[in-house]
Amino acid sequence: MNDANGKAARARAPRSEHARWRPAADRLDPVQVLTAQDGLRTPELVPIRHERMLMSPFAFFRGSAAIMAADLAGTPVTGMRVQLCGDAHLSNFGGFAAPDRSLVFDVNDFDETLPGPWEWDIKRLAASVAVAGRDLGLAADAVRDALVATVRSYREAIRAFAQMRTIDVWYARVDVDKQFADLVQRFRRPERRKIEKDLAKARGKDSLRALRKLTYTVDDEPRIISDPPLIVPLAELVDEADAEQVRNRLATYWKAYLRTLQADRRHLVSAYRPVDLAHKVVGVGSVGTRAWIVLTLGRDASDPLFLQFKEAQRSVLEPFAGRSRASNQGRRVVEGQRMIQAASDVVLGWFRIEQDTDGRRRDYYVRQLWDAKASVPVDQLSAGELARYGEICGWTLARAHARTGDRVALAAYLGRSDRFEQALATFAETYADLNERDYEAFAAAVGTGRAA
């Protein structure tokens, strides 16, 4: 680690140059980018994806990581690389239970994780602040203030991490009951009460609650409820003969998944047996990819563990950042998550289906379905709250980059002045303009049937 490398990087990518980005003249058609993704998804679920993306320009932004990946490829970079989240927008941060069962705040989505230029993550985060601020109807100067606050927090955190021992950077985290609680106390009363209520609810959001909410009993054993098209149990997808075949295949995948766990966690998860599964629609950008919820039981029917098997496709960053060294895309997601998060789910693992029902090979990663997850209502924040929330997200992203990149060189590049945050605020405003045009183009394409 050498600060001279960071200062030298200013010659390759001057900080002020980040403000001067404009869309390429030969920019890919955003509608074509999204419809190409639709071709890899379950056809009957694609309309749900479109419906969710059309709810607002921010919802569209959440589902259009592939569009921005291509745009980011044309932005200035220093050559310094980190493990990217790959989709670091405001709604991909949140609270969840650490292995010690305390609530922590961290990045919580890794479908696009890949090593790449650190600038891409902070630019996507900044752009999400600009898009969210406009959706909230905030004045342009208030959005600008939130943008500068977010990126300043990132810059100052990187500089602080550069002075820390490596092991201390690795242990650093946001504890919900401490640092995050202090942030929430500065919110307006209605938003503060809602977040506090959501956090209290999150503490009980575990497999026992999922058992009560998502199952009914058949012959003294729980089965997953039906709520189509969002939750469709196996029994409604295939006939009994085919269902038996699927259960046999599940046993094979279960064994493959167990082999990806370290010994102590394999011992833990091996105490559970799968008893039912259902297809589930998840997220915004992920709608249409295959995702299953799997009910497993330990000692008896009162000892459940709900897991999610989620399809992992190639990262949208791969055409621009290079191929993953992991041959299994589920492994890419899991290992990226472990690199970035201060505390990760103990059951994270992966497996591969060599030939799915449609003949395609598919990779999956495995995680707990509900593990005390909580989020901030981004669509209800005031100008000051958006800035404060952006600050904690900026700090969290900086911690991820400090863990996985050259934090000393990065700190030297960012420097002490506000030049970088001012440049990124301008970039984010420009990108928010572009996102609005893309949103309108997509809405028109859906309306005419071009994006069916």
Name residue 358's amino acid. D
- Do 68 and 131 form a contact (C-beta atoms < 8 A)? no
Whether residue 285 is predicted with pLDDT greater than 70 in this model: the reply is no
Whether residue 15 is predicted with pLDDT greater than 80 in this model: the reply is yes
Whether residue 4 is predicted with pLDDT greater than 90 in this model: the reply is no
Of the pLDDT bands very low, low, confident and very high (cuts 50, 70, 90), residue 372 is low
- pLDDT per residue as tens digits for the range 130-158: 999 999 999 999 999 999 999 999 999 99
CA distance 274 to 152: 47
- Do 31 and 451 form a contact (C-beta atoms < 8 A)? yes
277: left (phi over 0), alpha (psi -120 to 50) or beta: beta
Please tell me whether residue 41 adopts helix, strand or coil conformation: coil
Name residue 54's amino acid. L
Residue 199, C-beta contacts closer than 8 angstroms, at least 6 positions apart: 95, 103, 176, 374
Q: Which of 150-154, 287-291, 327-331 has the lowest mean pLDDT?
A: 287-291
Structure token digits, residue 354: 């060599």
Give residue 181's pLDDT.
67
Sign, Cα dihedral of 208, 190, 381, 441: positive
CA distance 18 to 276: 50
Domain regions of the chain by residue span? 3-203+374-448, 207-368
Query: What average pLDDT does the segment 385-402 reach?
Result: 95
Residue 214, C-beta contacts closer than 8 angstroms, at least 6 positions apart: 224, 225, 231, 293, 295, 306
Structure token digits, residue 95: 């609270």
Residue 417, C-beta contacts closer than 8 angstroms, at least 6 positions apart: none
Q: Exposed, middle or buried: residue 101 (CB in 10 Å: 0-12, 13-18, 19+)?
A: exposed
For residue 387, the tally of other CB atoms under 10 A from its CB is: 23
* Residue 190 preceded by cis peptide, ω within 30: no
CA distance 322 to 21: 22
